Amino acid sequence: MKGGNPIQFYLIAFLVVLVDQVCKILVRIHIEIDASFSLWGIPMTHIENSGMAGGLLQGNARLFGIVAVEFIVAVIYYRRNGLIQGKWFELGFAFLVGGAAGNGIDRILFGEVTDFIIRSGNGVLNMADHAIEIGALLLILGALHQLLNKARALFAS
């Protein structure tokens, strides 16, 4: 395998899916839809979203589930072929794959995604959504790290 540490990559992705799915199961079992509550001072409400982020394109969850599977397959393919390199990119894509898988499972099995964490001005999210945000941030940091390394090499020569 040409990519970085496969154990770390798959462990992070697996842990993201595990945490996401356990939280969603607990919310589905214990909290009625549209019921609001607070956990450790964090406002929450249980909603089911059959669309995408922000509730857009309602009724297309299974289509987005297929897109999530395609994304995961593409990342694994690129990773195995050495096209994802560097710790920032490895970590970022691990979080993205875990988040895509977590929400993809909901979309394919239930036709909707369980959301429950209220974020001021940004709607209601879940743990998979936060993992996707972390992954995106790590990719940005990786790109900045590469840019700084190239700038240092340019000025050093």
Closest CA to 109 of 31, 19, 25, 14: 25
pTM of this prediction?
Answer: 0.88
Query: How many percent of the chain have pLDDT more than 90?
Result: 54
What is the per-residue pLDDT for 125? 86
Active centre residues (catalytic): 115, 129
Contact 90, 1 (CB under 8 A): no
Q: Is the model's pLDDT at 82 over the cut of 90?
A: no
Beta-strand ranges (E) seen in 54-150 are 113-119, 123-125
pLDDT in tens, 46-77: 988 876 666 655 656 777 888 899 999 999 99
pLDDT in tens, 126-135: 999 999 999 9
Contact 115, 126 (CB under 8 A): yes
- How much is the mean pLDDT over the chain? 88
Q: Is 104 exposed, middle or buried (0-12, 13-18, 19+ CB in 10 A)?
A: buried
Dist CA 30 CA 114 (whole Å) = 13
* Percent helix / strand / coil, the chain, rounded to 5: 65, 15, 20
Tell me, letter by letter, the H, E, C secondary structure of 4-63: CCHHHHHHHHHHHHHHHHHHHHHHHHHCCCCCEEEECCEEEEEEEECCCHHHCCCCCHHH
pLDDT in tens, 95-110: 999 999 999 999 999 9
What is the per-residue pLDDT for 122? 66
What is the per-residue pLDDT for 1? 43
Q: What is the CA radius of gyration of the chain?
A: 18
Closest CA to 122 of 62, 55, 41, 27: 55
What token pair was written down for 83?
């096209």
